[in-house]
Amino acid sequence: MTKKNDTVLMKNRQKGIFHIAKTVFEKLKDEGIKTTLEKIAKNIGYKLKGIDFDAHELTSLNIKSDNLKYATICGSSSENTVNHVLNTLLDFEKNITKGKFIDIGSGKGKLLSHAYNCGFKKLIGVEFSKKLCEISQKNLSILGIKNVKIHHMDAVDFVFPRDTKVIYFLNPFSDKVFKKVLSNILTERKKFIYDIYVVYRAPIFNDVFLKFKDFKHIKSDLFNGDLTEFYLLKRAGK
């Protein structure tokens, strides 16, 4: 991994409260007071219900994994960005919600809740922090979201189910772990019954995909300053 990427990864880990304050300021600037206040009110509503979708510093979670040093901050994209990305997925294929939606580095389950609201009913989260898994289970339960499984495990050990349809990455780790995960997907390729769409948000290590030609790049999408790359993996035999 390059020094540049090391620096980016370090900054991602250390955002914390400063990042949250900066995000609020940017929202006020870009979206106006009314929209920003509506979102703040929604977050307050989450709090009143006992739902915790706040960013979390990984160093405080007592994670036991050799890959912790390659991980990034536990955070989430803006709601507008998430909905835009998910709606872009819905445009790709009519029956895309039929298979499983898998969030790698699922944190507190916020993305999974948005995916559910967009029509994906078979949801899987993969998260190597036991505490975050427990928080996401609680959050999703309060929201009444069913048919979701949260796996407490390292992404490199996760076995993708045969009916995988969408794999979502919000820059969860560096290129070293990325290579292992993508290699695992290709190793299991023969069993998949659907073509698989891969979403890579905040694609700092996008060059990894250049080493895996089977993942066909289908779209680069810039929305509100947030970049997302979309890839398609055809099932074996197609």
Q: Where are the domains of the chain?
A: 1-238
**Residue 110's pLDDT is what?**
93
User: Whole-model pTM?
Assistant: 0.80
Q: Residue 203: is its pLDDT beyond 60?
A: yes
13, 59 Cβ separation under 8 angstroms: yes
- Token readout for 52 is 């915790």
**Residue 153's pLDDT is what?**
93
Query: What would the pLDDT profile of 151-190 be if each residue is shown by its tens digit?
Result: 999 999 999 999 999 999 998 888 889 999 999 999 999 9
**Residue 155's pLDDT is what?**
94
76, 146 Cβ separation under 8 angstroms: no
Quick one: how far is CA 27 from the chain centroid? 21
**Residue 215's pLDDT is what?**
97
Question: In the 8-state DSSP scheme, what is residue 185?
Answer: H
Query: What would the pLDDT profile of 85-110 be if each residue is shown by its tens digit?
Result: 999 999 999 999 999 999 999 999 99
More confident residue, 198 or 81: 198
Which CATH number applies to 1-238? Answer: 3.40.50.150
**Residue 26's pLDDT is what?**
64
190 conformational bin, left if phi > 0, alpha if psi -120 to 50, beta if neither? alpha
Sheet holding 196-201, edge to edge: 148-152, 123-127, 100-104, 164-170, 196-201, 226-233, 215-223
Of all residues in the chain, what percent carry a pLDDT higher than 70? 71
Q: Residue 62: is its pLDDT beyond 70?
A: no
Burial string for 169-196 (b: 16+ CB within 10 Å, else e) reads: bbbbbbbebbebbbeebeeeeeebebbb
